[in-house]
Amino acid sequence: MQTIGISNLNQHSFAPLKSKNQIEPQRRDNMKRLSVFDAVRVWEKTLPGQAQETIARLVAEEWQRIGGRGITVNKLNLFRYLRNDGGSEKYNRNVMHLLPAIAAAMPIEIARQFGLRSGKTEAELVASAIKECGEAHQAKLLGAPVHRLEKEIWEAATSLYAMLPREISEPALALLSTLAPQCF
Same domain, 128 and 60: no
Most confidently modeled range among 10-14, 28-32, 94-98: 94-98
- Quick check: is 84 in a domain? yes
pLDDT at 40: 92
- Quick check: is 9 in a domain? no
Q: How far apart are CA 152 and CA 177, in angstroms?
A: 19
Same domain, 82 and 134: no
Same domain, 82 and 34: yes
Same domain, 101 and 126: no
Same domain, 32 and 108: yes
pLDDT at 131: 96
Same domain, 35 and 109: yes
The yes-or-no verdict on residue 10 having pLDDT over 80 is no
Look up the pTM and report it: 0.61
- Quick check: is 8 in a domain? no
Same domain, 71 and 146: no
pLDDT at 155: 93
Tally the domains of the chain: 2
- Quick check: is 153 in a domain? yes
The yes-or-no verdict on residue 176 having pLDDT over 60 is yes
- Quick check: is 173 in a domain? no
Same domain, 39 and 75: yes
Same domain, 107 and 141: no
Same domain, 144 and 67: no
Cβ neighbours for 132, distance < 8 A, ≥ 6 positions apart: 152, 155, 156, 158, 159, 160
Full domain range(s) for residue 70: 25-113
Same domain, 107 and 71: yes
